[in-house]
Amino acid sequence: MLFYYYERMSHMKINELAKLFDVSKESIRYYESLGLLHPTRGLNGYREYVESDIDDLMFILNLKKLNLTLEDISILIAIKNKETSLSCQKATLFF
């Protein structure tokens, strides 16, 4: 059910995201304050989470289940979201 719902959502509000992942809105805001999530703000000032934010939150929650610290998770998110150079993309294309 979660996967189906997740696949259909491209933009979500914080309430929807909290309900989807069974996490508090405060936790999501805390992850944002640490720079782990980067939602945009709509004209109404509400946070809007796009697919990359949803992926990052799922990544964070899965790493927390493995007992990684938020400091470690921050490092891994930075690596995960870092753009790959063209030469690296070509080198790993057939890997």
24-71 per-position pLDDT tens digit = 999 999 999 999 999 999 899 899 999 999 999 999 999 999 999 999
Q: 35: which residues sit within 8 A by CB, 6+ positions away?
A: 74
Q: How confident is the model at residue 81 (pLDDT cuts 50, 70, 90)?
A: confident
Compute the distance between CA of residue 48 and CA of residue 42 in angstroms, rounded to an integer. Answer: 6
Question: Could you tell me the two tokens for 44?
Answer: 């109404």
Mean pLDDT of 89-93: 67
Beta bridge partners of 49: 12
Question: What is the model's pTM?
Answer: 0.77
Q: Is residue 88 scored above 90 in pLDDT?
A: no
